[in-house]
Every structure is written in C-alpha cells, then in structure tokens.
Amino acid sequence: MSDKPSVLFVCVHNAGRSQMAAGWLRHLAGDAVEVRSAGSEPADRINPVAVEAMREVGIDITDATPARLTWDTAEASDVIVTMGCGDACPVFPGKRYEDWSLTDPAGQPLEVVRRVRDDIRARVEELVGGLQRR
C-alpha cells in the first residue's frame, strides 16, 4: 500500500473531463499523488478536442484510454471526484467525495473545451493544496 494519496476522477464517458483532470493532476502534483480516471459508460476513445486543448498547455493525454469504473478502483482511492455521472457513480463509506459541475466537452468546439480545461485546472490546483495539508 502506498503512502501517497490516490485520486479517482469519474465522468460518464471517461473521454474528456476526467481525462483532462487526470492530466492536470499528473502535471501539477507529479509523483506525489496516484492518479486514476474512469467512466460509468466509457467511450471508445478519448475526445480529440480535449486532447488538443490539453496539448495547447503542454500536457499530452493522447495515450489515455477510457476505462470502466470498477468497485476495486473506487475502493482503493482516497478521493473520488465525480463529474456529471449522477447515480451511476457508486458511493463508498469513508471516502472523500467532490462533485464538480462542469460542462461536458463532448461535441463542443475548442473554445468551449478550453474554458472547461481552465476550470478543471483551477479545481485541481485547489485539490492538490488540500491533499498536501493531509
């Protein structure tokens, strides 16, 4: 078992918001945090507009693959951040939960996805600060 905190980002398709959040957390926290992401109904591939928006800020998420949310992944995470998956996201007693209300970037133009990306960055920065005070 690792001493570093683990964060799980969950959205429906695990193709946009949760992948961007995972990219930001890896970028901002480095190896200090174990980063996971998953979806309740994963897409076939990551959203190419999300990839482009992250590339613009120097973060490469092209290797990310949408993954199905599993009980084990959620149970093994210290913090679970949900993004619009509603009742599809399981609740585990004793876990820290945050629910981020974010625009779904699916089908959105790059300028909208940029705003989502920047909103996610601000939230991840706040999350990192909270994890460091544990």
Task: Tell whether pTM > 0.85.
Answer: yes
What length is written for the chain? 134
> Could you tell me the residue ranges of all domains in the chain?
10-126
- Say how far apart CA 7 and CA 79 lie, in whole Å: 5
Residues designated as active site = 11, 85, 89
User: How many other C-beta atoms can be found within 10 angstroms of the C-beta atom of residue 78?
Assistant: 17
pLDDT tens string 29-78: 999 999 999 998 999 999 999 999 999 999 999 999 999 999 899 889 99
Strand order in the sheet with 6-11: 34-39, 6-11, 79-83, 96-99
pLDDT above 90 coverage of the chain, percent: 72
What would the two tokens of residue 66 be? Answer: 């949408």
Architecture of the structural domain at 10-126: 3-Layer(aba) Sandwich (3.40)
